[in-house]
C-alpha cells in the first residue's frame, strides 16, 4: 500500500457533527439511507478539492456554507487527518474553516501540516512543521535551506489552502508536494450517469487516458487505452465478463466511428453483430466501469465509490469484491453501501467494516471488530 489515510476526524460538516474514523486498506461503510455515507465521501472530496485550490467553487457547488455546516449551527468545519506513505512518512494535516454567518462565507483560520520522523540510528521521533497558518499569517518550511519562511500576506488566500499554493513544479523536496499530490489525487465516484444521452454511451475522441474521471464519463477512452495496451488488464476484464455473462462473451472491440472517434462494442459468440455501448444495459456499463477503476494498473492513492452495487445483479458482487481485494494492494479503497449482500460478497478477507447510523441528528460511525462483523452479517 503506497499511501493511506489512517485517521480522519471531521467536525461540523452536514450530518458529520463530530466523527473519528480509522480506515483500513479496504473499507466498506454500510448503513441505511440518510445515515451520512455520501456525506463522508463528499468530505473526502472536499479535502481533495481543497488540496487542488478549488475549495471556494466546491463549497459554492454544495449550496454554500449555510447549507453544509452541521444543522446550520456549527461555527466551523474542521478536519484532521493522518496519512501514511510508503510506510516511511507519517504526515498530519488539519484545517478549520470558520463560518461567517452574515456573508454566508468562510475563511480558513487554521491550517497545519506536520511530519513525524524517525531520527537516524535512534529510536527517537521528531515532528517537523512543514506548513502552518493562522488566518492570513502563514509559514512554510524551506526544505533546501532547512529554515522556516513566512508567506507574503498577499499570497495567502482567505478561502484556499496554503497546501494548494505552496507547491511549485520545481519543488522536488518531498514534504509539501507529497501531501499536496496525495490529497489532490483522492478520487470519489458518485452516481454514474448511464441514461441514453450520457457521454459514456457515445462515440468518444481517442485520447490516451489511464484514469477514469470522477464522473466516469471518460470510461470508454480509458478502457480503450488500457484494454489495447495492457495484456494483464485485458485478461482481467475478459475473465470478469465471462464470469458475469458466461462463455458467450468473446471480447471488447473499439471500432472507429467518425474522424478521431471510437466506439465501445461487445462481441458475443452467438451474435453476428457486435453490440454497441448505446445498447448495453445500465448494469453492464456500471460493471465495466467498476472493473476498469479497480483493475487500473496506475490508480489514484485513494478511491471511494458511492454505492457500487447500484444497478448490478447480485451475482456480480463477488466479482467486484475480488477485483477490490486485488486493487486494495495498490490503492486505499472505500465503498459505501446499503446492501449487506454486497458486504457479504467479500469472502476471502473481510474488509474494514464501518456501520453508519443517523442518531439524534448526527452521523455515528462505528467500525466493527472482525468477530462482531460475522455476527452482524448473520443477523441480516
Cβ proximity to ligand ADP: between 35 and 114 the closer is: 35
CB 320 to Mg ion: min, Å: 18
CB 15 to ligand ADP: min, Å: 4
Residue 34 contacts which entry, ligand ADP, Mg ion, none (Cβ below 5-8 A, type-dependent)? ligand ADP
Give the residue, chosen from 23, 24, 36, 216, that forms a contact with ligand ADP under the rule CB under 6 A.
Answer: 36
Under the binding rule (CB under 6 A), the answer on residue 71 touching ligand ADP is: yes
Give the residue, chosen from 3, 10, 11, 14, that forms a contact with ligand ADP under the rule CB under 6 A.
Answer: 14
CB 368 to ligand ADP: min, Å: 17
Residue 141 contacts which entry, ligand ADP, Mg ion, none (Cβ below 5-8 A, type-dependent)? none
Q: Where are the beta strands (DSSP E) in 322-361?
A: 332-337, 352-359
Tally of CB atoms within 10 A around 159: 15
In whole angstroms, give the CA distance from residue 78 to residue 47: 11
Question: By the 8 A CB rule, do 372 and 366 touch?
Answer: no
Cβ proximity to ligand ADP: between 64 and 199 the closer is: 64
Best CA proximity match to 13, nearest among 63, 98, 76: 76
Question: By the 8 A CB rule, do 246 and 189 touch?
Answer: no
- Give just the sign of the alpha carbon dihedral 10, 14, 17, 19: negative
Give the residue, chosen from 23, 24, 31, 53, that forms a contact with ligand ADP under the rule CB under 6 A.
Answer: 31
Question: By the 8 A CB rule, do 36 and 338 touch?
Answer: no
CB 287 to Mg ion: min, Å: 20
Under the binding rule (CB under 6 A), the answer on residue 153 touching ligand ADP is: no
Going by the DSSP 8-state scheme, the letter that residue 122 receives in this structure is S
Cβ proximity to Mg ion: between 38 and 284 the closer is: 38
**Residue 68 CA: distances (Å) to CA of 33, 80, 375:** 18, 18, 36
Cβ proximity to Mg ion: between 306 and 322 the closer is: 306
Residue 224 contacts which entry, Mg ion, ligand ADP, none (Cβ below 5-8 A, type-dependent)? none
Tally of CB atoms within 10 A around 189: 21
In whole angstroms, give the CA distance from residue 340 to residue 342: 5
Question: By the 8 A CB rule, do 307 and 32 touch?
Answer: no
Q: Which residue is nearest to ligand ADP (CB)?
A: 38
CB 70 to ligand ADP: min, Å: 5
Look at the block and give the residue holding cell 458518485.
Answer: 190
Pseudo-torsion of CA 61, 5, 76, 113, nearest 10°?
A: -110
Question: By the 8 A CB rule, do 334 and 305 touch?
Answer: yes
- 91 phi and psi, to 5 degrees? -105, 150
CB 29 to Mg ion: min, Å: 10
Under the binding rule (CB under 6 A), the answer on residue 70 touching ligand ADP is: yes
Cβ proximity to Mg ion: between 171 and 282 the closer is: 282
Cβ proximity to ligand ADP: between 16 and 138 the closer is: 16
Residue 14 contacts which entry, ligand ADP, Mg ion, none (Cβ below 5-8 A, type-dependent)? ligand ADP
By CB under 6 A, which span of 63-71, 104-112, 212-220, 368-376 interacts with ligand ADP? 63-71
Cβ proximity to Mg ion: between 38 and 105 the closer is: 38
In whole angstroms, give the CA distance from residue 208 to residue 227: 12
Best CA proximity match to 287, nearest among 269, 310, 306: 310
Interface residues with Mg ion (CB under 5 A) are: 38
> Beta strand 125-134 with 76-85: parallel, antiparallel or unpaired?
unpaired
Cβ proximity to ligand ADP: between 32 and 297 the closer is: 32
Enumerate residues 308-367 that contact ligand ADP by CB under 6 A: 356, 358
By the criterion CB under 6 A, which residues form the site for ligand ADP? 14-15, 31, 33-39, 68-71, 356, 358
Amino acid at each position: 500500500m503506497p499511501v493511506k489515510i489512517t485517521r480522519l476526524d471531521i467536525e461540523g460538516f452536514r450530518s458529520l457533527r463530530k466523527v473519528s474514523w480509522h480506515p483500513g486498506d479496504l473499507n466498506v461503510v454500510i448503513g441505511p439511507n440518510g445515515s451520512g455515507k455520501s456525506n463522508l465521501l463528499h468530505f473526502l472530496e472536499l479535502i481533495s478539492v481543497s488540496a487542488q485550490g478549488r475549495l471556494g467553487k466546491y463549497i459554492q457547488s454544495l449550496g454554500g456554507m449555510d447549507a453544509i455546516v452541521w444543522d446550520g449551527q456549527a461555527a466551523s468545519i474542521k478536519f484532521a487527518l493522518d496519512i501514511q506513505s510508503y510506510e516511511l512518512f507519517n504526515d498530519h494535516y488539519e484545517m478549520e474553516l470558520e463560518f461567517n454567518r452574515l456573508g454566508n462565507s468562510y475563511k480558513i483560520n487554521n491550517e497545519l501540516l506536520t511530519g513525524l520522523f524517525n531520527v537516524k540510528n535512534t529510536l527517537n521521533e521528531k515532528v517537523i512543521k512543514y506548513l502552518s497558518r493562522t488566518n492570513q499569517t502563514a509559514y512554510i518550511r524551506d526544505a533546501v535551506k532547512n529554515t522556516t519562511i513566512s508567506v507574503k500576506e498577499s499570497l495567502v488566500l482567505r478561502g484556499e489552502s496554503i497546501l494548494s499554493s505552496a507547491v511549485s513544479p520545481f519543488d522536488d523536496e518531498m514534504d509539501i508536494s507529497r501531501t499536496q499530490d496525495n490529497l489532490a489525487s483522492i478520487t470519489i465516484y458518485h452516481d454514474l450517469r448511464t441514461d441514453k444521452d450520457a457521454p459514456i454511451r457515445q462515440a468518444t475522441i481517442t485520447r490516451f487516458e489511464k484514469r477514469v474521471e470522477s464522473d466516469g464519463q471518460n470510461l470508454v477512452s480509458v478502457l480503450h487505452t488500457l484494454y489495447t495496451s495492457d495484456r494483464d488488464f485485458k485478461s482481467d476484464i475478459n475473465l470478469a465478463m465471462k464470469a458475469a455473462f458466461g462463455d458467450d462473451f468473446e471480447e471488447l472491440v473499439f471500432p472507429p466511428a467518425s474522424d478521431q472517434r471510437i466506439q465501445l462494442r461487445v462481441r458475443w459468440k452467438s451474435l453476428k453483430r457486435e453490440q454497441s455501448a448505446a445498447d448495453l444495459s445500465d448494469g453492464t456499463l456500471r460493471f465495466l466501469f467498476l472493473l476498469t477503476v479497480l483493475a487500473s494498473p496506475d490508480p489514484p492513492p485513494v478511491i471511494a465509490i458511492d454505492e457500487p452495487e447500484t444497478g448490478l445483479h447480485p451475482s456480480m458482487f463477488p466479482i467486484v469484491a475480488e477485483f477490490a481485494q486485488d486493487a486494495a494492494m495498490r490503492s486505499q479503497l472505500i465503498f459505501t453501501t446499503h446492501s449487506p449482500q454486497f458486504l457479504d460478497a467479500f469472502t476471502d478477507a473481510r474488509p474494514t467494516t464501518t456501520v453508519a447510523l443517523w442518531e439524534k441528528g448526527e452521523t455515528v460511525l462505528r467500525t466493527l471488530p472482525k468477530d462482531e462483523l460475522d455476527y452482524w452479517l448473520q443477523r441480516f
